[in-house]
Amino acid sequence: MKRYKEAKMGEQAPHVFTIADIAYRAMITEGKSNSILVSGESGAGKTETTKNLMCYLAYLGGNSAAEGQTIEQQVLESNPVLEAFGNAKTARNNNSSRFGKFVEIQFDNVGRISGAAIRTYLLERSRVCQISDPERNYHCFYLLCAAPKEEIEKYKLGDPKSFHYLNQSNCYQLVGVNDANNYLATRRAMDVVGISEEEQEAIFRVVAAILHLGNIDFGNNEGDPESSVLKDDDSKFHLDMTAQLLRCDPESLEDALCKRKMITPDDVIKKSLDISGAIISRDGLAKTIYSRLFDWLVDKINVSIGQDPKSKCLIGVLDIYGFESFESNR
């Protein structure tokens, strides 16, 4: 970073630091905002490049003397938090971002970082309840299953193989990655970005609830093929756990999964759902809860980092969705 600072284009070997340096210098001299677009196929290195760009901008505009957590530390530490909840192993990349991200780093009139905002786009919701070999679900599920024993007991978790949302693929572990260590690292990163202990507990409660929700299975309601009921005691256990973790009433949850409410101008009609309908509503609930949790996390990080209303210049870094080409593209 030292070598690239204020070096002319071509003076050093090609590097993203040069791009960040040019963007920063142009912002200072011309007083104009700049954006850097990082694009490429899945696995090309966009997210790593984005992190390098952010490190370099933090190096140029950092506030080393500030007390407590600096804005740049918070921006950099938001990466492991967002990756835990928005990244997953795919066929091409063990740490593939399943969302788009635009990071705005704001600067004051002397070129110091004064605020930041993170905007995310289009989280891949379907992954929460549907995966196939050799992919994995979002990292956070495996991290929580590798959490310290007390937490595993508190959330009644265990081997990832016992959860439907994880066992549709045979891939559970990543080579060279320790989920137990990463769980603790994610908790530490959450501390840095200003997520309180209580909020962290609530976040992982929701993650555990989604795993239990996925294990609720449905069976035929005798005498009425158009409706469904909980399949067995195992499903009842997971329903009770989901309700306990989400702090809602188990009967209302069961009703919400097995019945559909239709609102007409005069009345509210409840219609029973068959097994496949109940599964669709269970998975729909899991996807909605997860994507709202993700949005909540991003909002929380933004509130904690804070934006500078007086800032006139910013550098934006856009890490877009990586392109993938499948045998059968849909």
Ligand X SMILES: Nc1ncnc2c1ncn2[C@@H]1O[C@H](COP(=O)(O)OP(=O)(O)OP(=O)(O)O)[C@@H](O)[C@H]1O
Active site positions, annotated: 42-43, 47, 93, 96-97, 322, 324
Q: Give the residue among 319, 321, 323 at the shortest CA–CA distance from 36.
A: 319
DSSP string, 94-152: TTEE-SEEEEEEEE-TTS-EEEEEEEEE----GGGT---TT---BHHHHHHHTS-HHHH
CB closer to ligand X out of 84 and 313: 84
Position closest to ligand X via CB: 322
**Ligand-binding site membership of 66 (annotated):** no
What whole-number distance in Å separates Cα of residue 85 and Cα of residue 173? 16
Instruction: Identify which range of 36-44, 157-165, 203-211, 228-236 contacts ligand X by CB under 6 A.
Output: 36-44
Residues between 303 and 322 that touch ligand X (CB under 6 A): 322
Residues 40-69 that bind ligand X (CB under 6 A): 40, 42-48
Which residue is it, tokens 């912002």? 27
40 among annotated binding-site residues: yes
Structure tokens at 37: 């677009």
Four-residue CA torsion sign, 180, 184, 189, 193: positive
Pick between residue 17 and residue 155 the one whose CB is nearest to ligand X: 17
Smallest gap from residue 177 Cβ to ligand X (A):
10
Annotated binding residue at 2?
A: no
Residues from 73 through 102 that contact ligand X (CB under 6 A): 93-97
Interactions with ligand X, residue window 254-273 (CB under 6 A): none
Q: Are 240 and 214 in contact (CB under 8 A)?
A: no
| Gap between the Cα atoms of 239 and 216, Å rounded | 6
Q: According to the annotation, is 316 in a ligand binding site?
A: no
Closest-CA residue to 293 (of 237, 209, 187)? 209
Closest CB to ligand X among residues 135, 308 = 135
Q: Which is nearer to ligand X, 84 or 239 (CB)?
A: 84
CB of 44 to ligand X, least distance (A): 4
Report the nearest approach of ligand X to the CB of residue 47 (Å). Answer: 3
Cis amide prior to 14 (ω within 30 degrees):
no
- CA dist 105 and 61 (Å) reads 10
Residue 111 in marked binding region:
no
Q: Which is nearer to ligand X, 55 or 257 (CB)?
A: 55
- Annotated binding-site residues for ATP read 40-47
Residue list, annotated binding site: 40-47
Provide the binding-site residues for ligand X, judged by CB under 6 A. 40, 42-48, 93-97, 322
